Amino acid sequence: MLFIGSAGTGKTAVTKDFLVGSSTEKIDYRIMNFNSFTDSVSLQLSIEGMVVKKSGKTFGSASNKTLIYFIDDMNMPFVDKYGTQSPIALLQYIVDYGSVFNREMLEERKFL
């Protein structure tokens, strides 16, 4: 889900209220604020910190809860010389393919 609106309209407050008020037995969440120093490595580490290995190269929630990842100020990462923002490109890859690559062993990690 993507909330879009002018500054000061309460997008962050509404989302945080929803997350805090949600059932802890069913939902696990993490909040990350993007800034100009956010890179794809820190984003990937944060996302992978919420999942555990299920079988083979498949990863998912440790407690079979629904995982929600709230990203605030998504437009803030630095635009590189090629006109891209690496954390946003990584998010697009995860949404499109449901996986990331282990940066050390260069193998795919699928998310449930």
pLDDT digits (tens, 9 = 90+) for 49-75: 888 888 888 888 878 788 889 999 888
Q: What is the CATH number of the domain that holds 103?
A: 3.40.50.300
Q: Is residue 36 part of a domain?
A: yes
Mean confidence (pLDDT) of the chain:
89
pLDDT digits (tens, 9 = 90+) for 81-112: 999 999 999 999 999 999 999 888 888 888 87
Q: Is residue 77 part of a domain?
A: yes
Tally of domains within the chain:
1
Specify the pLDDT at position 96.
93
Q: Is residue 6 part of a domain?
A: no
Percent of the chain with pLDDT strictly greater than 90: 41
Q: What region does 35 belong to: left with phi over 0, alpha with psi -120 to 50, or beta?
A: beta
**Is the pTM higher than 0.85?**
no
Q: Is residue 67 part of a domain?
A: yes
Domain enclosing residue 58, as ranges: 11-111
- State how far the Cα of 7 lies from the Cα of 31, in Å rounded to an integer: 19
pLDDT digits (tens, 9 = 90+) for 5-32: 888 899 999 999 999 998 888 888 999 9
Nearest residue to 51 (alpha-carbon basis) of 61, 43, 41, 63: 61
Q: Is residue 1 part of a domain?
A: no
